[in-house]
Amino acid sequence: MTDNPVILCVDDEREILIGLQSQLYRAFGTDCSVEMAESAEEALELIDEMIPDEAILMVLISDQLMPGMKGHELLIKVHEKCPNTLKILLTGQANINAISEAVNKANLYRYMEKPWDGQDLILTVREAMKSYRQDDEIKKQNRLLEMQNAQLEQRVEERTHELEAEQQKSEAMLLNILPEEIANELKETGEAKPKNYKMATLLFTDFSGFTALAGKITPGEVVKTLNECFTAFDEIVERNNLEKIKTIGDAYMAAAGIPVANETNAIDAVKAALEIHEWVNVWNTKRRSEGKELWELRIGIHTGELVAGVIGKKKFAYDVWGDAVNIAARMESAGEVGKVNISHDTYLKVKDLYDCETRGFIPVKGKGEIEMFFVVKAK
């Protein structure tokens, strides 16, 4: 930190300015100098003089209503010159537009009304100075760390570059296959034990009439189209805290509430499903304009108990087992294109946040009749 920190007070009323300077000098006179300016223009001149002298403008306190340049306009100009300066605006009349400009264009630290409370002002300035010093120290430490890292990298680069590259590649590939928690467990212990989850939510998607669709284009185009869709699904799933499990042909499977259990997994899954349908609708609109076949999607969701873990010794795969998986698959196959079909168990978890349309009990192969609902929209 510089040996010349400055607090600059700006006000067109000299009596107020002197009182402000006196308050601040009594509180901070041993730590920094307290300067005065009776106009925004004078303040800018002082700042221009400080810069060559390596004095640091730590805190600027400015009145808002002054002849000529107003306080918020001054703060904006100061921010251009000294972006790290903490800026405090004083005014007897609140001006929302001026304050908004000061916040957005000058990173305003605090707005205070006149007449201000002396203790509040001192506390505000003290916290601003503390914040400035902390930010300055962090920047110094970051610069030092960057320098040390650069020196270290230079010394070891030739001997370790190839090894680091291979290690990064291996870890990236592992994280593409397994959830981070499972990958870390495997690296640390050499195994990942299966875990039971009392409540998780499975999401299945499938393209209706995929075989017929695929027969109209080349195998390369099929793969390219599926990759385009599944890449978008991956982003939506990750954004909504779901874990992608696998794809099988044109089917896509993901789960919420694993590998880290949570209470919002059903809500997360439904939100992701609605976003997936929204993406497919936009995508199909573009395909229609290009004269291409539409790919219509069904989505099924079920919430229940399952087991998740890693299978295999050489080619790891993170997978899920349990009756909940089978029911979720049935939700998809019993659904309709363009709709999110959910089980009663999922409905109970999301009904307060989403409008749902009951379908009654639908016969399902191997499961008898299961009560189902279509998710209509968020409430």
pLDDT tens-digit readout, 66-96: 999 999 999 999 999 999 999 999 887 767 8
pLDDT in tens, 182-234: 667 666 666 667 889 999 999 999 999 998 988 889 999 999 999 999 999 99
Mean pLDDT in residue range 129-138: 88
Residue 147 domain-assigned? Answer: no
> 44 and 118 share a domain?
yes
* Whole-angstrom distance, CA of residue 197 vs CA of residue 201: 10
Where b means 16+ CB within 10 Å and e means fewer, 313-330 reads eeebebbbebebbbbbbb
Rounded CA-CA distance 363/340 in Å is 18
Q: Are residues 93 and 198 in the same domain?
A: no
Indicate whether 124 pLDDT > 80: yes
Q: Can you tell me the distance from the alpha carbon of 113 to that of 94, in angstroms, rounded to the nearest whole number?
A: 7
Residues 281 and 84: their CA atoms lie apart, in Å, by 47
Please check whether residues 331 and 240 belong to one and the same domain.
Answer: yes
* 169 found inside a domain: no
Domain termination site, one of 97, 112, 138: 138
In the chain, which residue ranges form alpha helices assigned H by DSSP? Answer: 14-28, 40-50, 71-81, 96-106, 118-177, 180-189, 210-214, 219-239, 265-289, 323-333, 344-350
Q: Which residues pair with 8 in a beta bridge?
A: 35, 60
Q: What is the pLDDT of residue 280?
A: 97
User: Do 250 and 330 belong together in one domain?
Assistant: yes
Residues 67 and 197 placed together within one structural domain of the fold? no
Domain span at 260: 192-378
Residue that terminates a domain, selected from 93, 110, 138: 138
Any domain includes 302: yes
Q: Indicate whether 123 and 223 sit together in one domain.
A: no
Give the chain's mean pLDDT: 88
Q: What's the confidence (pLDDT) of residue 269?
A: 98
Residue 348, domain member (yes or no):
yes
Instruction: Establish if 168 belongs to a structural domain.
Output: no
Confidence band, pLDDT 50/70/90 cuts, at residue 166: low
pLDDT of 261-315, one tens digit each? 999 999 999 999 999 999 999 999 999 999 999 999 999 999 999 998 887 666 6
Q: How many domains does the chain have?
A: 2
Between CA 41 and CA 44 the distance in angstroms is 5
pTM: 0.55
Q: What is the pLDDT of residue 172?
A: 57
**Domain CATH code at residue 337:** 3.30.70.1230
132 and 250 housed in the same domain:
no
How many CA atoms lie within 13 Å of 98's alpha carbon, on the beta-carbon side?
A: 22
Residue 346 and residue 242 in one domain: yes
For the chain, the 3-state helix, strand and coil shares in percent, each to the nearest 5, are 50, 25, 25
Burial of 66 (0-12, 13-18, 19+ CB in 10 A): buried
- pLDDT more than 70, % of the chain: 89
| DSSP letter, residue 187 | H
**What's the CATH code of the domain at 126?**
3.40.50.2300
In a domain, 313, yes or no: yes
Q: What is the pLDDT of residues 325-375, one digit of tens each?
A: 999 999 999 999 999 999 999 999 999 999 999 999 999 888 899 999 999
Assigned domain for 179 exists: no
Percentage of the chain lying above the pLDDT 90 cut = 58
Average the pLDDT over 112-133 and give the result. 89
pLDDT at 185: 65
Query: What are the distances in angstroms from CA 221 to CA 89, 119, 215, 216, 277?
Result: 61, 71, 11, 10, 22
Query: Is 186 contained in some domain?
Result: no
> Residue 163 above 80 pLDDT?
no
* 228/323 same-domain check: yes
pLDDT at 2: 47
pLDDT tens string 14-52:
999 998 888 998 898 888 889 999 999 999 999 988 877
Q: 119 with 10, same domain?
A: yes
Q: Are residues 121 and 218 in the same domain?
A: no
Pick the last residue of a domain from 138, 157, 183: 138
Kindly give the pairing relationship between strand 56-63 and strand 86-91: parallel
Band (1; pLDDT cuts 50, 70, 90) = very low
| 204 in the same domain as 106 | no
In this predicted structure, what is the pLDDT of residue 167? Answer: 65
User: What pLDDT score was predicted for residue 312?
Assistant: 65
168 class by beta-carbon count within 10 Å (0-12 exposed, 13-18 middle, 19+ buried): exposed
